[in-house]
Structure 1
């Protein structure tokens, strides 16, 4: 159980009313800098822009996928419920998503983002897709099998071994055009816990994002909307990361609502090295809740 990602609370990026936040952003190799002071209200507004309190409605319905993941054994409902009972309870909303006919649009929030991560992780791992057969990435012989990655060895909520389900179940069927979209978009979405794109889903976040892209493609979501949705979801999974990136963009005069989702998700911003570079140029209060670890 300890390998399943924990759910993270909203980062404490909002200071007490009246306190001032001093943020310094450095531009360019010359070392020139510009300092900007922002009040607590500005911090609250930025957090609301990146992590809306009411959540973000995703352009997908879950349908009976949860029930099918249970049926094939990729999710053991008893293990899943036991995990969340340890965390204070397994609410009806969570139960409904592993039963049939969950036909309403999914809304991701600070509260349920970790649970959705786990469901999408199971989907990405279990659904049969050519990306999981890539001999230069997940199936590269140099790694001695796909079972040695965090995204596979870390999934302990299945019946049997996770590799009994890896790339094994026809849960989402894609047309050739839809598969091309997933392949293309997945190569452009990175995550700050490592340097790999979603096309190489070696951790839980990558595998979950792959599952989300497959689901969106199957339901006719266009490429630009896929990037927009992926950025919203990544923001809830890595809240401190994207609050920092949003601060960086704000200091460059670009509001979060106006950023290019594809650019923000790319290597220069969202990979481990890209984010480290951005973060080094932003001085901001440390919340102590960075979120987004690949294991508990």
Structure 2
């Protein structure tokens, strides 16, 4: 999905570094007024490459290869997957054979990934650059299919947008059996307590993504739907609010590496090391929305990106994106 304005994300037919073109292109109604005003001071001085090459750190210290924003060994998420892959397949939210064939064709279907899909993965999930796209797809299926009031009564069903079926997060999910809307908020893989649901509601409204101006509470693209699924999974396993914010920032950082490497450089210039930032603040509209990140990015002289953003589908014949690639609204 292109980072244009702050509008809802209809399915696009754009090729992604992770996914083959989406078969269905939906011309959904465009959303206005979703962006939240950025409170950053526009008079802030631009952070140049030379200024960042000061003792104690350079711009390169915030590259993927240095592991500050994206730890080289990955990040252990505070959840286990269990047999959710089996449950998603049994419900038809994932066509297991086609999903496996997709990754086998790429040569990216490790024993660990196979176990997440077909087995019982009881250990904590480790997120890495290599499996970030795979986990995005699993979380996407979970967020789409698990019943939740956010999907049943939130922005997704606002009649102004022509129904939930018109978004990239719904029509773009091509790995279900049958129509993806046959699975939209239809299954109960776990049931949240009222307190857990309140927590998901609160945090989902505070997490933005740089491909648009919408929060996770409006999961109109795959990243939003995947984050919703991840939040539900964490809440269902009793993860604390603080740890949910931390894990959500780690996940967003692996899905949008250029974004958070740039934000880290900006914060360093302000005298704040990445390890000392507030995850909740970084995930908010002032930093992580399309408009917020644009203002941050304009104040940081960044090296040229290796490639552009990606689309909003799930199937691809191409390999995993190179390190430091901006993922846009693809996987």
1:38 to 53, 62, 73: 53
Residue 50 of structure 1 aligns to a residue in which SS? coil
2:250 to 206, 209, 232: 232
On the 8 A contact 1:185/1:227 being kept in 2, the answer is yes
On the 8 A contact 2:42/2:295 being kept in 1, the answer is no
Cα pair distance change 1:65/1:164, threshold 3 Å? same
1:97 paired to 2:116: yes
Distance in 2, Cα, partners of 1:5 & 1:152: 17
CA offsets per residue over residues 48-104 of structure 1, 9 Å max, x none?
Answer: 110011000000000111110011010111111222133224221111001232001
Structure 2 equivalent of residue 57 of structure 1: 76
Residue 178 of structure 2 aligns to a residue in which SS? coil
On the 8 A contact 1:151/1:207 being kept in 2, the answer is yes
Structure 1 equivalent of residue 327 of structure 2: 292
Which structure carries more relative contact order (alpha carbon 8 Å, separation 6+)?
A: 2
On the 8 A contact 1:173/1:218 being kept in 2, the answer is yes
Structure 2 equivalent of residue 172 of structure 1: 190
Distance in 2, Cα, partners of 1:5 & 1:97: 23
TM-score (norm 2): 0.79
1:288 Cα deviation after fit:
1.6
1:5 Cα deviation after fit:
6.1
CA offsets per residue over residues 101-158 of structure 1, 9 Å max, x none?
Answer: 20010000000000000000000000000000125x1001111110100000100001
1:99-178 alignment runs, 5 A limit: 99-135=118-154, 137-178=155-196
On the 8 A contact 1:147/1:153 being kept in 2, the answer is yes
Structure 2 equivalent of residue 250 of structure 1: 268
Residue 284 of structure 1 aligns to a residue in which SS? coil
CA offsets per residue over residues 254-284 of structure 1, 9 Å max, x none?
Answer: 0000000000000000001100110011001
On the 8 A contact 2:46/2:300 being kept in 1, the answer is no
Structure 1 equivalent of residue 314 of structure 2: none
1:294 Cα deviation after fit:
2.1
Structure 2 equivalent of residue 11 of structure 1: none
Distance in 2, Cα, partners of 1:129 & 1:160: 21
1:205-216 alignment runs, 5 A limit: 205-216=223-234
Residue 278 of structure 1 aligns to a residue in which SS? helix
Structure 2 equivalent of residue 22 of structure 1: none
Residue 60 of structure 1 aligns to a residue in which SS? strand
Distance in 1, Cα, partners of 2:305 & 2:78: 31
Residue 106 of structure 2 aligns to a residue in which SS? coil
Looking at secondary structure, tell me which structure has more strand per residue: 1
On the 8 A contact 2:46/2:301 being kept in 1, the answer is no
Distance in 1, Cα, partners of 2:264 & 2:131: 22
1:71 to 83, 87, 90: 90
On the 8 A contact 1:154/1:295 being kept in 2, the answer is no
Distance in 2, Cα, partners of 1:250 & 1:63: 38
Cα pair distance change 1:33/1:110, threshold 3 Å? closer
On the 8 A contact 1:174/1:218 being kept in 2, the answer is yes
Aligned residues: 276
On the 8 A contact 2:171/2:180 being kept in 1, the answer is yes
